[in-house]
Amino acid sequence: MDAVFLTFILMLSIILGFELINKVPATLHTPLMSGANAISGITLVGALAYAGSGYVSSGATSLLGALAVVFATINVVGGYLVTDRMLAMFKKKDGGQG
Amino acid sequence: MTLDLWINSVYIVAALLFILGLKLLSSPATARRGNGVSALGMGLAVSVALLDQGIIEFKWIVVAAAIGAVIGTVVAKKVEMTSMPEMVALFNGSGGLASLLVGWAAIEGSTSIFVLATIFLSVLIGGVTFTGSIVAYGKLSEKIDGKPIMFSGQRVFNGLLVLLILVSGVMFSVEPNDNTMWFALIVILALLFGVMVVIPIGGADMPVVISLLNSYSGLAACAAGFAINNNILIVAGSLVGASGIILTQIMCKAMNRSLANVLFSGFGSVSGKAEKIEGEVKPISVEDAYYVLEAATNVAIVPGYGMAVAQAQHVVKELQELLEANGCEVNYAIHPVAGRMPGHMNVLLAEADVSYDILLEMDEINPRMDTVDVCIVIGANDVVNPAAREMESSPIYGMPVINVDHAKTVFVLKRSMASGFAGIENPLFFKDNTRMLFGDAKESIGGLIREFE
């Protein structure tokens, strides 16, 4: 049942994703990508449980988890910060045109 | 059980915030808020993930998260806007690697075929994303040659590689008790495959590759979500996957090529059959160019990767202001594949403080190109090449381009007469209404600014 349920979620999210992303204007495609980088750091959520499973009790698993935490955190923190930095530059100026 | 329910409810809220964040990205006016909303969702998801009862030791979590946060912050603050494609490539790779590691960690104690198969997928996609992104980074930063790398038997080799990966995947999934060797093989093959996938793709096709790897990094997270039975990974991962695929489609369409063609053809490695273009190139001096611009009432600026290389976006903005002060309407015409990643030019111009409402897409500017007095092409080549409309023998025939030659006068800022990145001849340079302004783009525009002052 689990597999069916998870696949159901997958389908719905993909359709929703297509609908949402199609509405993003071309001018924001670079921030969209860096923002997507940040979201793909969601793996962090999965990595935390392994990283905290205790080195004594689970050995290599906790080490792998900790490494995954490093890389996923780079994505999350770096992704959101750089996207914010970029989006802060997008400004509309009134009366700029002749 | 109740804690579990609670955690999952918060995941639903986090998913809603990701979706809302993406929705706010539909306009530059709300986009920054959208990013904040999305970050809030991530914060929530991570916070409740820390409540997981499997966590008995926080030491390594703190150390690892601190290292990641410092690296992420430094990179995000330091990176130049021109190097954004390289940074996104590296972030794609880092996301892929994280999913590979989570998949790896999930093996311990997993016995069901379904779970093992999803572990296989997360390791495979994560591994391909990781090494593919490293190669893409190398090509973008010119640490390795941007030319497509092809060798005889490449397709056979890749075919065998895929077959071997599939066999290892099946063996790994059906033999839960004795699959360590198969797993090692999967990791090695996935990493190798990532390299093989990207090396035959030329530097000019990098916008497609980055978009695709972006999508893979999401799909890898998605597969990891299946492996560890976590909804939020699936939702967030598939949002990213969908985003990358749409961008990939847009890029391919903008080059009038299929994805298969981009991935396998080694475009730009072969040239030669090009027909000879007859005509004379007409250079123009900065001073004469100034007189033409001074009389113009409608100017369109077409930026390309060359503008990024010359770091000319700030002087371009200065020129725009002078033209506007002179009573002239100035717009920017931006081709979807201008630059090295989707939207690259827009970010550079935003950095130079250009208002986003005068950044026009190709479909907006083309119908009114006839009314433009002067079109200034800065460091763009293939995206303004009329051969795409006129010369059936041209490799880019059929690609939608910005019809700069329909403007009354075209200025092309160019270093020399060498052909563009893809090595394709450009008949634009020989048109009657084209004037070549040779030299470094930044210096040429600087010269124009001095004439105005």
The per-residue pLDDT for range B96-122, each reduced to its tens digit, is 999 999 999 999 888 899 999 999 999
When pLDDT is averaged across residues B337-344 and rounded to a whole number, the result is 89
Q: Is the dihedral of CA B258, B262, B266, B270 positive or negative?
A: positive
Among residues B184, B79, B206, B84, which one has the least CA distance to residue B135?
A: B206
Whether A4 contacts chain B with CB within 8 A: no
How many domains would you assign to chain A?
A: 1
Within a domain: A72 = yes
Give the percent of chain B with pLDDT over 70: 95
Among residues B83, B73, B197, which one has the least CA distance to residue A38?
A: B73
What is d(CA B167, CA B173) in angstroms, rounded to the nearest whole number? 10
Q: Within the 69-88 window of chain A, which residues sit less than 8 Å (CB to CB) from chain B? A: 69-88
Q: For B298-321, write each residue's pLDDT tens digit.
A: 999 999 988 988 889 999 999 999
How would DSSP label each residue in B170-202? Answer: HHHHH-TTS-HHHHHHHHHHHHHHHHHHHTTS-
CB contact under 8 A, B101 and A67: yes
Residue A42 phi, psi (nearest 5): -55, -20
**Could you tell me the pLDDT band of residue A94, with boundaries at 50, 70 and 90?**
low
Within a domain: A95 = no
B-chain residues within 8 Å CB-CB of A98?
A: 324-329
Q: For A28-55, write each residue's pLDDT tens digit.
A: 999 999 999 999 999 999 999 999 988 7
The answer to whether residues B68 and B60 touch, using CB atoms and an 8 Å cutoff, is no
Instruction: State the pLDDT at residue B268.
Output: 47
Domain ranges, residue A61: 27-88
Domains (range + CATH), chain B: 79-264 (no CATH), 286-452 (3.40.50.1220)
Q: For B165-193, write each residue's pLDDT tens digit.
A: 999 999 999 988 888 999 999 999 999 99
Whether A57 contacts chain B with CB within 8 A: yes
B-chain residues within 8 Å CB-CB of A55?
A: 57, 60
Instruction: State the pLDDT at residue B319.
Output: 95
**Could you tell me the pLDDT band of residue B75, with boundaries at 50, 70 and 90?**
very high
Q: Within the 211-240 window of chain B, which residues sit less than 8 Å (CB to CB) from chain A? A: 211, 214, 217-218, 220-222, 224-226, 228-240
The answer to whether residues B378 and B312 touch, using CB atoms and an 8 Å cutoff, is yes
Within a domain: A48 = yes
A-chain residues within 8 Å CB-CB of B36?
A: 84
Whether A8 contacts chain B with CB within 8 A: no
Instruction: State the pLDDT at residue A98.
Output: 34
CB contact under 8 A, B72 and A81: yes
Range of lowest pLDDT (B200-209, B324-333, B436-445): B200-209
Instruction: State the pLDDT at residue B175.
Output: 85
When pLDDT is averaged across residues B41-56 and rounded to a whole number, the result is 92
Q: For B196-231, write each residue's pLDDT tens digit.
A: 999 988 877 888 999 999 999 999 999 999 999 899
Q: Within the 332-361 window of chain B, which residues sit less than 8 Å (CB to CB) from chain A? A: 334, 336, 341-344, 346-347, 350-351, 353, 355-359, 361
Rg (CA), chain A: 19
Within a domain: A97 = no
The answer to whether residues A48 and A89 touch, using CB atoms and an 8 Å cutoff, is no
Within a domain: A31 = yes
Tell me the whole-structure pTM to 2 decimals.
Answer: 0.91
CA distance B43 to chain A (A): 9
> E strand or H helix at B331, and its extent?
strand B329-334
**Could you tell me the pLDDT band of residue B270, with boundaries at 50, 70 and 90?**
very low
Q: For B379-438, write each residue's pLDDT tens digit.
A: 888 899 998 988 888 878 889 999 999 999 999 998 877 655 555 678 899 899 999 999
Which are the catalytic amino acids of B?
A: 382
What is d(CA B94, CA B104) in angstroms, rounded to the nearest whole number? 15
Instruction: State the pLDDT at residue A2.
Output: 74
Question: Which of A39, A67, A81, A93 has the highest number of chain B CBs within 10 A, making it the mutation to test binding with B?
Answer: A39
Among residues B116, B300, B63, which one has the least CA distance to residue A65?
A: B63
Using the predicted structure, report yes or no on whether residue B290 has a pLDDT greater than 60. yes
Q: Tell me how crowded residue B77 is: count the other CB atoms within 10 A of its CB.
A: 11
Within a domain: A20 = no
CB contact under 8 A, A46 and B224: yes
When pLDDT is averaged across residues B246-274 and rounded to a whole number, the result is 74
Q: For B346-372, write each residue's pLDDT tens digit.
A: 999 999 999 999 999 999 999 999 999
